[in-house]
Chains A and B, each alone.
Chain A
Amino acid sequence: MTTPTCRHFVPLLEPFRDGELSPADVVDVEAHLVECERCAERLRLGEAMRSSLKQFVRADAQVTESFEKRIALALAAEREREERLESPAEAHGRMLSWRGIMPIAAAAAVVLVWAASANNRTADGGSVAKSDIASSPASVEKLIDELVANHQRATGPQFTEQTLLPQLEPEVGVPVRAPNFKQYGAHWEGVSVVPVSNQRAASLRYRIAGHRLTVYVYDASRVPVRSTLQQRLVRDEPVYVGSRHGVSIAATERNNGVGYAIATDLNKEESAELVASIY
């Protein structure tokens, strides 16, 4: 019920929620909220509105892969333009561009080796998931690149409330649950949905002893992550591990067709241990 003191506190509720009140006012507002259900409800409704607004704005303006590429290209072109202006000697400019090409050539070689080994495994191993994507080495490479690139991007989460995870299921196509890594001291950060191999995967973010950890949850029949990785057994459980650009990838599948893949800068053994702990 509204009491006369609400007149004093209502104008403070929004700055309180926005983190803009002085510590003394925060204490007063908190004391009022304990005794005034109506103001407490005003605050909760405000928080619910904020959460729904955030979800709407993020979902309505999703950064597509093509847009991200367009921006990256525009910025890279601008950087090159700056570099040309800063080093007017044409010969030096040519040297720079060759220096730029070398890592790209090296990366291309790695991609070829990786793709070839993935092909061999596809031919040898009978347990590789069948899909259009798995049959194309280029797509398989792109898939791992996407997982690594998304992990390395420090984009903010779509939301942080674990209770909202079921809302992602229609988009991702499988049940989305947050694995509990508390025994490893992991700290939950939030979730977003990312495009992976023309499908959508939930990207769950954690932090573990200062390392960023991304857990992808996806439809294993459509996103063949494990087909590019080496099989290992952790506590008699098959997991699939690999690494790229200093990022370890470890994947597993559960009986209900849910795939889990972890991307982290921890080593392969630690990543395999983490992914095997998911049940």
Chain B
Amino acid sequence: MNRTGRLTSKAFEAEALAELSALLGVATRVTKNPADAQDLVQDTLLKAMRAREQFEAGTNLRAWLIRILMNTFINRYRRGGLERSVLEGPDADPLADGWISAQTMESMRDPEAQALRPMLASEIGRALDELPEDYRLAVVLSDVEELSYKEIADIMGCPIGTVMSRLHRGRRLLKGRLYEHARAMGIVGPEAEVGAKSEPVVELDRYRARKAVSS
């Protein structure tokens, strides 16, 4: 870095190349086409190199590069901007996954690998790509690229609350899809029904709360 805090072109080149894998991962998910993804990454890095004096030293280079990547994608590859999801809105019930029992959730995991069971892991890519675009991007930026909510909000041009909602909804859709797949593959069995039956604890609580308000 020189006296003005600007990264030299060589230093920038080295740091940007270290982010190649992250950029290609995001580009592949948004373009859904490997050749377009590679072009998008190249355009992004050339733009970033020309604009590198705008990068604030000490902030997250990956987040800055992804913001350029998304702007490039929207301007050049998708004139209409990001698909707005039709599923926006406040979350009605935070316990909406209550129908999946702890036992069922456990049988969807591979405890040794600390990941999903292999048969579910093979499904997760398809499930991810079928998510509404805003949800998919939020999930990839948080779960894969490990960006903060603030960084994701800057990239997506929305408030942090919207990022949280998109993340929650995206993950819940993924979980629901994986659960359906697990049922179809016979990975989870009738214990799911037991889980569903255990839910009246919440229902009763909700009923009492409502009754207390109305009386």
Residues of A near any B CB (own CB < 8 A): 1-4, 6-7, 10-11, 14-15, 18-20, 37-38, 41-42, 44-58, 60-63, 67-68, 70-72, 74-76, 78-79, 82-83, 153-156, 161, 163-164, 167
Contacts and interface: CB of A to CB of B under 8 A. Distances in A.
Contacts of A56: 121, 124-125, 128
B82 interface: no
Given A10-B94, A52-B121, A71 B42 contact: yes
B128 A2 contact: no
Contact of A14 (B46, B168, B178, B198): B168
A61 B143 contact: no
B155 interface: no
Contacts of A154: 18
B207 to A, nearest CB: 12
A-B residue pairs, 6 tightest by C-beta: A61-B28, A41-B102, A51-B115, A52-B121, A52-B116, A48-B109
Contact of B94 (A4, A7, A57, A70): A7
Contacts, number: 171
Given A3-B201, A161-B114, A49 B175 contact: yes
A44 B109 contact: yes
> Among A53, A54, A55, which residue has the most Cβ atoms of chain B within 10 A?
A53
A76 B42 CA distance: 12
6 contacts: A2-B95, A2-B198, A42-B97, A62-B24, A155-B20, A163-B113
Interface residues of B, number: 64
Contacts of A63: 20-21, 24
A262 B28 CA distance: 32
Contact of B17 (A44, A68, A164): A68
Q: Is the interface of B mostly helix, strand, loop or mixed?
A: helix
Contacts of B148: 19-20
Given A48-B108, A48-B109, A163 B125 contact: no
Chain A contact residues, majority secondary structure: helix
Contact of A51 (B24, B97, B114): B114
Given A71-B20, A79-B13, A4 B202 contact: yes
Contact of B95 (A6, A62, A72, A161): A6
Contact of B202 (A2, A156, A163): A2
A54 B24 contact: no
B60 interface: no
Given A49-B171, A75-B46, A78-B49, A57 B140 contact: yes
